[in-house]
Amino acid sequence: MLYRDIHPKDTKFVKTRIQNVAKAGDTDKFEFRMVSKSNQIIWLEASGSVINHQGLRDHELLFVMRDVSHQKRMTGELEEERNFIQTVLDTVGNVVIVLDRTGKIIQSNKGCKRVSGYEEEELLGKKLWDAVIGTTDRINVKKQFMLLMNNREGQEFECQIQTKELKNRVVACVMTYTSDQAGYIEYILFTAMDITERKESEAKLKESEELWQFALEGSGDGVRDWNVKDDIMQFSKRWRTMLGYKEDALESNYEYWLSLVHPEDREFTKKELRAHLEGQLSYYVSEYRIKCEDQSYKWVLDRGKTMEYDDNNRPLRMVCTLTDITERKKIEQEIRYMSFHDKLTGCIQPCVF
């Protein structure tokens, strides 16, 4: 090996390591770069030791070289991919935490730090429910994790995140997973939207009409007011414009509204609405796709509550708010796509973080 073939930035480093082996007489292992005749960078791993000859004062240095260029490229590519994924996660305003199969945290984004106050290094290796979940919700979050692992179905729920300052933030959570080509679960994605302020507003306004007026004026949501008894629906201006409809373009009844819901989402939405009207759920909440005036579909979050009952506790009037969540769904889809596909080739591959 000639020093002139060593990368200029590594020459001094290599000379020093060789001198250390010669002086100390110990074995050493290190990596450095060489430049080939075609000006290609070659990474070598050098293992050096001293050979002493019996009866002679002089000794020899023996160095065994191994080409590790491929491993270096693979390591670099994986690190670049991880940094790319981290950059994407950090653009998401919501909390995103990546877990292994045991529930330990292996990655988090800036949204997590913003809500919880914890740096990623403070969370790595800890169980999700022990690290950031409020004490009253830890058992339920662990239960949701086990349901996901056993049933392979995404879980949606609300819980409290306990911040570094021991304050609780209410979040709406989604727990999903990524798997390899054989279907083996590799990673679990825990995403959470901070809804603390919304919950506080709802608690203050309670069930009054002021809540729905607040939703309409303060958040830009659409409002649907349903006279359940007579089956008359009224849609606010914001509700119509969100989907591109003119004032006289909508029929005012339940069946017409249901016909706008995407066929694949219709049964689930009916089930959730029925459960609320029958008193099984305190609130009606459903995410579904709804048809716009131009025949395209938007993802929406539909939330509502019965405001009036008759003497027999049967629903008379229900009010619902409609939120456009199309962009959120696109981000979730992009994250899932990147978890399954190589960013350079677009081929499906096991997800690596």
CB 329 within 8 A of CB 299: yes
DSSP state of 313: S
Query: CATH 3.30.450.20 spans which residues of the chain?
Result: 3-67, 73-194, 198-328
Torsion sign (Cα): 63, 69, 70, 71: positive
pLDDT for 75: 67
Q: Which two tokens stand for residue 195?
A: 């809804």
**Cα–Cα distances in Å, from 37 out to 4, 9, 45, 71, 110?**
11, 17, 19, 21, 45
Q: Which two tokens stand for residue 303?
A: 């939330």
For 154, phi then psi, to 5°, come to: -60, 145
- Please, which residues have CB within 8 angstroms of residue 194's CB and are 6 or more apart in sequence? 94, 95, 115, 161, 169, 170, 171
Tell me: the pLDDT tens digits for 272-304? 999 999 999 999 999 999 999 999 999 999 999
pLDDT higher than threshold 60 for residue 346 = no
Rounded Cα distance between 351 and 89, Å, is 14
CATH class, 3-67 region: alpha beta
DSSP state of 170: E
Tell me: the pLDDT tens digits for 105-161? 998 888 899 899 999 999 999 999 999 999 999 999 999 999 999 988 888 999 999
Looking at 3.30.450.20, 3.40.190.10, 3.30.70.260, 3.50.90.10, the CATH number of the domain 73-194 comes to 3.30.450.20
Compute the half-sphere exposure of residue 44: CA atoms within 13 Å on the CB side of its CA: 20
Element housing 107 (H / E): strand 105-108
Please state the pTM of the whole predicted model: 0.41
Tell me: the pLDDT tens digits for 15-30? 888 888 888 777 888 8
CATH of domain 198-328: 3.30.450.20
